[in-house]
Structure 1
């Protein structure tokens, strides 16, 4: 990867972004824009939202379900909640408080998912940005905000077709991402679903990009993830040593007025200076603002990236699948 030369006037959000009032205002404006977008969204997406609301109305789980994915009925007696009800090939909503997970979330399991076999599946965690914050325990419809971007949007639009089928879990947070809750959430999914614990991946946009960086920064070798793809995010460069065993590929637009692209530049340079097992990558889109995630998730940004940074020549989901966490 070419040497980076960020402008000396660029802002580094990694150290003090939580104290930035202007950033919070921008995130709230993003939330408002998401709500307004409901008015003109596609018919297919509207149907997905309606189905989500119906699922939410049913509380996203069935208290009569007794079998766990691994066939161990006795484990349910030790849990406060019964095993979650799963419909393969469908993105289902689970409002906060109806399962033992720390978040409300959407969950998709591939069509070939079979709880009666020994097959295990990769798990992808998607972290939304500030515009999709919400608390479905207070307002169940909040949960639908996470369907506007990333893998949840691709699934809702019938455009989800990764080379390697995987479980996709998209939690919702009312605030900036809490890494301990994220770790607890992944633990919950491992216990409830047939997850290949060596193939757990995480991606996120804006605030979700920060969530990816923060999760690894805090958990280090104890992090579940083998690879992360933070988009338009920021992090703490002083935690670079924590990324040595986690493959990292960041994306950003160089005209981002919400989160300066120097935030990603600084993080990737810091990680690589620490000597990771896999060199961290950064792809930058010239002339692109904050929304650098749409073209990254759907792959339409391939060939549009800046030549000064790492090329975008491979689907990010295929790239993540290249990595397994050593047990």
Structure 2
């Protein structure tokens, strides 16, 4: 009898991530000083007044624009729609306009609108993002740590001035060591800043040999990602679970086609359907150049290895659209090492 009970409980736990019958709605111009957004509403919410968790998904550069259908190309909502993953939570997926980067204040305004219109469990709000969305995740957690229960930042970077605030939140950093678009050193810099001088923190980090920028998208299709997030509930005791669950290099090489892991195999051609968020890949340059200190004048920036338009714009507090306009280039232009860009 005891064995049967254990099996039943195990089955119930596993079902937390299975068999989604959710509804995805599009919202345009609903939030002043906010973003257009998709909202995935779990099926059980329609028949319950129980407070429900919220996952905020911040996309990368390639999904920016004004068409919310682009936000379904990869990430949490795609995992729900195209696989059997069901986190039993609201999923908020705002869309950043092309040429801009994530603004924590605007993300917060959208989140407040969701909380005002739906019965959200404020003790269980989770933020995840990749590439530009990884930048956005670091910045949002850093500026508004009291709004976040736990977060995952994939192949991103952030502002070290927020390190003390980021230390307060369970944060899982992941980055591929073969990333040619956003070097893993960017994530390591944030990790080191958070852990500086032995500061109390709830941060863990994994750096995966051989994985590139696009490979990190696989994490959204792993049930373990959601299990790790949902163990946190704002209590100090739950923060002690930071090292529970593992994602290994081997997990990234799995390609089942039954939907139990993610939308891979025959369902999705990763190289075709998942666009790398960076605008360029300077590691394919004929000559390898040692990384140098930024060379600049008042108005000119010299492109270095690993630079992207997004990263340059963020560094100089401007926009990719403005840089493109000043230099008469397209946002999809390939940057070259040594190329001179007018910044301001």
Distance 1:121 1:268, change over 3 A: same
Match of 2:96 among 158, 173, 184: 173
Aligned to 2:154: 231
How far apart, CA to CA, are the structure 1 residues paired with 2:151 and 2:101? Answer: 18
1:206 to 2:131 alignment: yes
Q: Secondary structure at the match of 1:318?
A: helix
Distance 1:96 1:114, change over 3 A: closer
How far apart, CA to CA, are the structure 2 residues paired with 1:282 and 1:116? Answer: 37
1:295 to 2:295 alignment: no
How far apart, CA to CA, are the structure 2 residues paired with 1:132 and 1:91? Answer: 21
Match of 2:63 among 129, 132, 138: 132
Q: TM-score, normalised by structure 1?
A: 0.61
Aligned to 1:281: 204
Q: Secondary structure at the match of 1:238?
A: helix
Q: Which has the higher relative contact order, 1 or 2, with Cα contacts under 8 A spaced 6 or more apart?
A: 1
- Runs of 5+ in structure 1 lacking a partner? 1-87, 136-141, 300-313
Q: Secondary structure at the match of 1:293?
A: helix
Q: TM-score, normalised by structure 2?
A: 0.58
Aligned to 1:322: 231
How far apart, CA to CA, are the structure 2 residues paired with 1:238 and 1:97? Answer: 32
How far off is 1:92 after superposition? 2.1
Match of 1:122 among 26, 31, 53: 53
**How many corresponding residue pairs?**
215
Distance 1:111 1:234, change over 3 A: same
Bigger CA drift: 120-129 or 99-108? 99-108
Aligned to 1:93: 25
1:192 to 2:121 alignment: no
- Runs of 5+ in structure 2 lacking a partner? 1-19, 237-344
1:144 to 2:69 alignment: yes
Match of 2:86 among 147, 156, 161: 161
Checking the alignment, whether the CA contact within 8 Å between 1:245 and 1:276 is kept in structure 2 is no
How far apart, CA to CA, are the structure 1 residues paired with 2:173 and 2:215? Answer: 11
